[in-house]
Each structure stands twice: as C-alpha cells, then as structure tokens.
Amino acid sequence: MQLTTFANAACESFMKTLKYEEVYRNEYRDLAEARASIPEFLEKIYNQKRLHSALGYLPPAEFEANLATQKNKEAAARHLSV
C-alpha cells in the first residue's frame, strides 16, 4: 500500500506531537515504562482532550461522538420519511 502525501504529513505530525507532548517531557526508567506510558498518553490526552485541526478543532472522541449522533439523526429521519 502506497501512502499519499497527505497521509505521510498526518503521520509526521502525529509523531512530532507524540515526541514533544509525551516523550520529551518524561524520563523513562526503561523501554518497558515508555511502552506502558505512551498508550496511556494516547488514550487519556491525545484522543480525549487534545484538539485536532483536521477534526474541526475537536478531540477525536468528541468528533466521533458527534458523528455517531449525526448518523443516528439521519437514520431516524430516513425511517420517518418512509
């Protein structure tokens, strides 16, 4: 699978964020501690709190919740129009 320029830019941006907001701000005792800490950062900060410009400056969790709500409303509207 070949990455597009946009996908590559998004990956580069993510890695920069991960380094500056998690890795460079912490001193890990060992690789195991880093491996345990990074997923926690991704779930608690990156996905729940951090604003993402590509998502209309919403955190991914909020964007997905809004999207699900919108899809439910559209499905209900289709059901009522039948």
| H helix runs in the chain, sequence order | 5-18, 31-41, 60-81
Residues 6 or more apart whose CB falls under 8 angstroms from that of 49 comprise 59
Query: What pLDDT sits at residue 17?
Result: 92
User: What is the DSSP annotation of 4-21?
Assistant: PHHHHHHHHHHHHHHIII
Query: What pLDDT sits at residue 1?
Result: 52
Query: What pLDDT sits at residue 35?
Result: 96
What residues pair up with 58 in beta bridges, in sequence order?
52
Query: What pLDDT sits at residue 34?
Result: 95
Q: What integer best gives the mean pLDDT of the chain?
A: 89
Query: What pLDDT sits at residue 2?
Result: 65
Query: What pLDDT sits at residue 10?
Result: 82
Q: Which residues of the chain have pLDDT under 70?
A: 1-3, 82
